[in-house]
Structure 1
Amino acid sequence: MTGKATVTGVAPSVRRWGVDLAILAAIGLLMGFLGPFGSDRVPVVGRYVYWMICMVGGGLVGVTADELLSRRVRVVWLRVAVVSILMTPAVSLVVLVAEHLVMGGRIDWSGFMRLHWQVWPILLAVMAVRALVWRRSPARIETRTVIAPPLPEAEVAFRRQLSAKRRSARLIAVEAHDHYLKVHTDAGAELITLRFGDALSELAGAHGWRVHRSWWVAADAVEDVRWRRGAGEVRLAGGLTAPVSRTHGATLKEAGWF
């Protein structure tokens, strides 16, 4: 079991280094094609060999340093800047040796110092490209309002006032009409004699919201909410719609509907 875990942990690391090598090789081929800093005067094969040594060899120096600093410096772009500055002397030495091997250049102090101003911007660009390749997308967190089914005892007092046909039906909304209430259910609507305030008291423990001065809606019956210019509309099960006032709109907003 331990051996399997070790192999699993090694695989992503090998893949990451493989991708890094591919990035560095691709940049080396591009630089060989462009031939900057007078390298275009070198024969084609030599030019490509020179830039592959510089980009792959020097790039691996930067990548190694970046991996070592990754746990100490968590901010990616700060680490890119730090690595490019600290590793410029080491990468300049790699480039100086490549110049000597491919172009016959001299290895001396003046040449070493000259290369710093050429190496640093290229190393910075390479490390920035690598950071973009490996950057992580921000975690996407989805939130959803979960409506629990109504507790039977929460609506029992209110349901006693409905007819037998609708007493056990699904409650959708309650609409105030003067001294009457129009109770909307999935078995149809029914008028009952009850004040809206008393109905709200009886439904206080039920899963629902007052969305208007004359409307109460069941939470599990809400299908969609639209809000425009300080007022809204809630679409309910069965094709019913109810207005949402500015005063009571905050309740639906807190529930995550808009």
Structure 2
Amino acid sequence: MQLFDMFGEPPQFTIHEMTLVLRSGVFLKYAAAVAVLLTAFDTHGYREAGMPLTANMLLWAVCVAGFVAVYVAVLLGWFALAPGGQQVRMLRLVPNVTAMATVSLVVVAIAAFFTGQEFGWRVVLQRLPYNMVLSYTFETLMFVFILPQADAALGLGLYRQQIANRAAPAEGPPGQEAALPQAEGPNGTAVVVLGGQAFKLDRLRYVKSEEHYLRISAGDSELTLRGRLADLLAQVPQEAGLQPHRSWWVARDAVAGLKRGGQSDLLLLADGCEVPVARGRRTHVRETVEGWQAGTE
């Protein structure tokens, strides 16, 4: 999943990595600081209207927690509904507006209970523009300062994909990253580097992404190294293989055939392994495999 960001590099992360960031000490301290600042400045004058300090503190704690919960729910929903196999990308404004509109309704309702102020859509709509500016300001601070700190502390490498993309701006077919100039080993053999180790390209059979690790099948061996599939896609030429699923890359020479199904396809490998084909990539995979098969006849 990738969030478009106007400041710095857009982070790209898995659901597991998002969970790690939300549970990190850096993020939790920032969330607490936001709640304290909102309480201290009493931005909507609720304490002046008669709300007790403890209730005001609870109000803004609920506001911050609710905003994060709805924000994450929008991301997960977007991820679940996205076409299979496609990289999920979202403008930050989408989850922000959804979360802030929901939280504004809750905040006005709680404030009305403690202060006797009017509760209704008119009040919510009056508050919403200011709340949007406030939430986008805090969110931007999060992306510019807090997220990079959490990323460095956890060692996730949320920004490495964009480094590869800057080095290779040309785009390939759906699901295939543009290739960087390849390194060469002895006798001009093409080499790719994954997890700090070099592999001859013609020895790779498949690479499977498992969270922030790669399961690499090369020759007669298989090993697991820390890394991302993007590390491989940025180095291999398009004709060397294909990406049937967001978690898989398969070498051309390893493909034995394609098993078509009504709901899903399976890519058949020479070693008997079956690789799932994402719905969003079925057409591309079918055309590619048919082209390879036609070329060998």
Greater fraction of residues in helix: 1
Q: Relative contact order, CA 8 A, sep 6+: which one is greater?
A: 2
TM-score by length of structure 1 reads: 0.42
Q: Return the index of the structure with the highest Cα Rg.
A: 1
